[in-house]
Amino acid sequence: MTTTTSQASAVTSPASTEIDPAWRAGIPFTRLLRAEQRKMTDTRSGFWLVLVMILGALAAAITVVATWNRMAGGSSPSWTLGSAFIPLAPMTLLPVLAILLITSEWSTRSALSTFALEPRRGRVIAAKAVVTVAATVLIWTLCQGLAALAALLGDVIHTTPPVSWTMHWSAMAGDLAQTVLLVLVAAALGLAIGNAPAAIVLYMILPVLTTTLGLIPGLHTAMGWVSLNGISLLGTGSLDADGWAHAAVSTLIWNRPRRLSAQFSLCAARSSDSGLPGRSARLRRTGPVVVATAVLVASPGHNGSPVNFFCTKDRPHGPSKTTSPWPYDPYRHLCPTPLTDAVG
């Protein structure tokens, strides 16, 4: 049996032992994207998560319309009045969707099929990341649209002062970046831990954990770096520092694991019989990446951080003004602060 794959010997007779030249074309990334996009919603859990997101956003929008008068409080309201309530359900459930898209491959062992179809595992993980970000951006945009619609209806129905339609672009970009980063952190946790309940719980308690540890005097400085504080700051409109952080974080989260995931096949399936990497191996490989990511994410909120080193001059508001005792608040939508450029 020949081992060369030269064009000349690649005959097309059925008995050929070479790869059929007709199928030399690889799998385009767009096909992987479409497959991952289907996987996101074609299971029962995915379907219900998306349905609850939509219903939750709609219910919040209706509430905003109904209580427009009271929310405006007599002053001229911004159209973004509802933009803190409406994304509550979607932004709570999107990280869960992102985690499930990754962990379900391991828990149901469907990764065996997935990686048999596309052995370059980094591409599969990258496709999942891209689909996750795209879904986040789409849902975030829909929520903003719903907020505008609610403002329009609220303005028509109620006799409040006219709505201000000023677009707070930098604050909106900050809010979007914050949302995308939180979902990516969730996805990275899913990839590192490989177990959906553990990843979801860790994602939810991470802010509480870092805050609590930060109360210990000796750990205060360290936790300032580790907590997800920086992501919360993104939503307050301090964007110039965060553009840098965003790029750094995205690179860190998704490029490191991509290279690592390519090595997954190298590591032994010691703890499982599936031919897939064991949980301990995955944790060992991606755990440091998650920690490093959290550090970088935290950095814009910290005085000595690398981000501040790069852009201290024109930051509109220093960390001292925006640092809250609660570094990262996953329930931020419960306490709406209208999107404005002047925070602090």
Partner 1 sequence: MITVTHLTKTYGSVTAVDDVSFTVGPGQVCGFLGPNGAGKSTTMRCLAGLTRPTSGSATVLGTEYSRIPNPARQVGVMLDASAQHPGRTGRETLRLAALVQGLPLDRVDEALELVGLTRAESRARVRNYSLGMRQRLGLAVALLGDPRVLLLDEPANGLDPEGISWMRRLLRDRADRGDAVLLSSHLLHEVEQVADTLVLIGGGRILTAGPVDELLDGERSLEELYLSRTETTARR
Query: Could you list the residues that contact partner 1 (CB under 8 A)?
Result: 1-5, 13-20, 23-28, 31-32, 34-35, 38-39, 42-45, 104, 108-113, 115-120, 265-266, 268-270, 273-276
How far apart are CB 26 and partner 1 at their closest, in Å? 4
How far apart are CB 120 and partner 1 at their closest, in Å? 7
Which residue is it, tokens 């690889």?
Answer: 26
How far apart are CB 28 and partner 1 at their closest, in Å? 8
How far apart are CB 47 and partner 1 at their closest, in Å? 9
The region that residue 39 occupies, defined by phi over 0 for left and psi between -120 and 50 for alpha, beta otherwise, is alpha
**C-alpha angle 201-297-111 in degrees, rounded to nearest 5:** 50
Q: Identify which of residues 20 and 167 has a Cβ nearer to partner 1 in the complex.
A: 20
Burial per residue of 80-108, b for 16 or more beta-carbon CB atoms within 10 angstroms, e otherwise? bbbbbbbbbbbbbbbbbbbbbbbbbbbee
Please state the separation of Cα 132 from the chain's center in Å: 7
SS (H, E, C) 145-202: HHHHHHHHHHHHHCCCCCCECCCCHHHHHHHHHHHHHHHHHHHHHHHHHCCHHHHHHH
Return the SS3 of 86: coil
Q: Are 286 and 297 in contact (CB under 8 A)?
A: no
How far apart are CB 127 and partner 1 at their closest, in Å? 10
Query: Among candidates 53, 55, 57, 69, which has minimal Cα distance to 153?
Result: 69
How far apart are CB 242 and partner 1 at their closest, in Å? 36
Q: Identify which of residues 3 and 75 has a Cβ nearer to partner 1 in the complex.
A: 3
